[in-house]
Amino acid sequence: MIIKVENLTKRFDSITAVDDISFEVEEGTIFGFLGPNGAGKTTTINILCTLLSPTSGRAFVAGHDCMKEPADVRKAIGIVFQDTTLDKDLTAYENLVFHTYLYNVPKDEMRGRVYDALRFVDLYERKDDLVKKFSGGMKRRLEVARGLIHRPRVLFLDEPTLGLDPQSRANLWEFITKLPEKHYVTVFMTTHYMEEAEVCDKIAIIDRGKIIAMGTPDELKRTVGGDVVYIKTTDNVNTKEEIERLLGLAVSEKEDELYLTCNMGDTCIPEMMRTIGEKVLSVRLQRPTLNDVFLKLTGKAIREEEAPPEKGIKEYVRAYRRRKEK
Amino acid sequence: MVNNQSPNLVEFNAVYVIVAREFKKFIRERSRLFSTIARPLLWLFIVGAGISRLVSPDVGVPYIQFIFPGILGMTILFSSMFSSISIIWDKEFGFMKEILVAPVSRFSIVIGKALSGTVVSTIQAVIILALFPFLGFKLGLFQIIGVILICASISFSISAFGIVLATFYESYESFSVIMNFIIMPMFFLSGAMYPVKLLPEILKVASKINPLTYGVDAMKHILFPFEKGKMSPDFPFIIDISVIIITSIIFVLIAGKAFERKG
């Protein structure tokens, strides 16, 4: 297990940002932390990448204790934070070179690695431009490139597509899903976009600091009760009986359409077609989304909670820090 | 994977690249260089020239020469403080996180930042120092080298002090507070414009706890070694040097602690 978290808790005064969470991440996979803003995702990342100490509990990254061996953890990880952390007054090339020095990349490999990274994210042509001239998508790509340059074992991505246009988001996703194979890196990402979490090998759904569900996207979706198959036929009455006999499942009718709930919609459709094929006019399959999972678990849609709580907890953490520093 | 070079080299690389970044940005931002050079010139040739008409000592160091160490101190004070306070900018714009998650010791970060301030401040002080022939100074090579060395050590100490301040502030709104309540009083109470020994008792105490006072005083020792009157240095040279060194160490230690993980 490349990441191991045991009973991790982080409190800021009376607010519990992370509440007794435990999970493990397998090497070479994409692990997603899914939840509304303010759920505790960023706090967890900050603890894992040694920027924050937990109130209690333990965390290990690449076999090293995040509290006791922060230097070893830092060597093993790359991070792309939610807000950009590039120096806008330096060029793309200079930002990456800065990074190679901090991570002690051997001198003779430095230039080659920086150029490779720039080519990988399609920014080689712009290498000598100041970062302040870059678009949001370009900056994010540059940060991913920077995060990989020292060949980390784990890459943390905190809301990597936040604030990007749909085109850049799609590009970035395509690119992220290739990372484990191309760079032998484990990806730990957070998002509040359901569609994005679909690409993960495993997802933990987090709400109000607690992990409320964990599993592969398919496993999670199965918990909400399976797929719904809608069928339009020339003869609803007879077809309904035939399907019920064949599958042993209850079929209902609504607005001239038959529908049934089954576990594996994709395999039960062909089975039905073999017997009732000639009567069928149209078939559609509706699979549960991760949003349905979240809805079922918390009673609310994930998007509803977007802006206000995020601001709330961020302000709160800031105020807390200020008080502590004085 | 990261290769296993000696840990000292890793830390040296980190310090080097932090300084290199600052230097590169300093070269690029002409306006910053211009404004930090212009300020001491205004003080020297307008305020200094004006006041020297008012106070014209019959013997010893002319006023415009007397304030020269103070003006060098001012150049360093502003430039080092600006350099260190850029940490607040780095925090606000996120770049500080890139540095903080890197596998380098917090002390290397602080030393890198302090040396950044030292390099850019010393360059600016040397530019101002080059004006000495126009002020009637006749300096030998050893005097020039001595002043530059002292400029570099004050720069380091003030930069380290600036870093300590920067760790206490989260946003750049606090900048004007630092400017008005720390930088300006530090300048006025450094013995730059008037000898500390002529100040009222309470201001004398304030001057004595100001680290810049000792830097300015050390330069007075070198720039007018034969002055014995009221314009003469206020403290023994050895005290000046010791205070600069000790405060540097203390500020670096405090800043290093402050950079450890928060909350």
Residues of B with CB under 8 A from a CB of A: 1-3, 5, 9-10, 13-14, 16-17, 21, 24-25, 28-29, 93-105, 167-168, 170, 261-263
> With an 8 Å Cβ cutoff, is A74 touching chain B?
yes
Please report the pLDDT score of residue A306 as a whole number. Answer: 46
Q: What residue type is B55 in one-letter code?
A: V
**Domain range for residue B163?**
7-258
Q: For residue A45, what is the enclosing H or E element?
A: helix A41-48
Please report the pLDDT score of residue A317 as a whole number. Answer: 59
More confident residue, B144 or A192: B144
Domains of chain A, earliest start first: 3-219 (3.40.50.300), 226-286 (3.30.70.260)
Picking from A12, A85, A97, the nearest residue to B94 by CB comes out as A85
pLDDT-derived band at B231 (thresholds 50, 70, 90) equals confident
pLDDT-derived band at B186 (thresholds 50, 70, 90) equals very high
Judged against a pLDDT cut of 70, whether residue B74 lies above it is answered with yes
Contact (CB, 8 A) for B56 and B191: no
Which of B26, B89, B95 should be substituted to probe chain A, the one whose Cβ sees the most A Cβ atoms within 10 Å? B95
Asked if residue B1 is part of any domain, the answer here is no
DSSP B82-111: HHHHHHHHHHHTSHHHHHHTSSS-HHHHHH
Judged against a pLDDT cut of 80, whether residue B102 lies above it is answered with yes
pLDDT-derived band at B59 (thresholds 50, 70, 90) equals low
Tens digit of each residue's pLDDT (9 = 90 or more) over B172-185: 677 778 778 888 99
Asked if residue B146 is part of any domain, the answer here is yes
Task: Tell me the average pLDDT across B133-157.
Answer: 91
Asked if residue B240 is part of any domain, the answer here is yes
Domain count, chain B: 1
Which residue, chain included where needed, has tokens 């333990």? Answer: A58
Picking from A94, A103, A318, the nearest residue to B102 by CB comes out as A103
Tens digit of each residue's pLDDT (9 = 90 or more) over A74-85: 989 999 988 889
Contact (CB, 8 A) for A192 and A205: no
More confident residue, A263 or A92: A92
DSSP B159-222: HHHHHHHHHH--SGGGHHHHIIIIIHHHHHTTTSSS-GGGS-HHHHHHHHT-HHHHHHHHHHHH
Contact list, B95 vs chain A (CB under 8 Å) = 85-87
Task: Tell me the average pLDDT across B5-33.
Answer: 84
% of chain A residues with pLDDT over 70: 91
Maximum distance among all Cα pairs of chain A, rounded to whole angstroms: 78
CA distance A186 to chain B (A): 14
ipTM of the complex: 0.84
Which residue, chain included where needed, has tokens 């602690």? Answer: B257
CA distance A304 to chain B (A): 28
8-state DSSP, B261: P
CA–CA distance, B126 with B21 (Å, rounded to integer): 21
Residue A283: which of A272, A294, A297, A291 has the closest Cα? A272
Tens digit of each residue's pLDDT (9 = 90 or more) over A115-126: 988 988 888 999
> With an 8 Å Cβ cutoff, is A49 touching chain B?
yes
User: B168 and A326 in contact by Cβ < 8 A?
Assistant: yes
Asked if residue B18 is part of any domain, the answer here is yes
For A210, phi then psi, to 5°, come to -115, 145
- How many whole angstroms from its chain centre is CA A112? 30
CA–CA distance, B250 with B155 (Å, rounded to integer): 15
> With an 8 Å Cβ cutoff, is A98 touching chain B?
yes
Q: Which residues pair with B179 in a beta bridge?
A: none
User: A101 and B28 in contact by Cβ < 8 A?
Assistant: no
Asked if residue B2 is part of any domain, the answer here is no
Task: Tell me the average pLDDT across A141-154.
Answer: 89
Contact list, B97 vs chain A (CB under 8 Å) = 51, 79, 81, 85
Range with the poorest average pLDDT among A83-92, A158-167, A177-186, B150-159: A158-167
Picking from A85, A89, A324, the nearest residue to B97 by CB comes out as A85
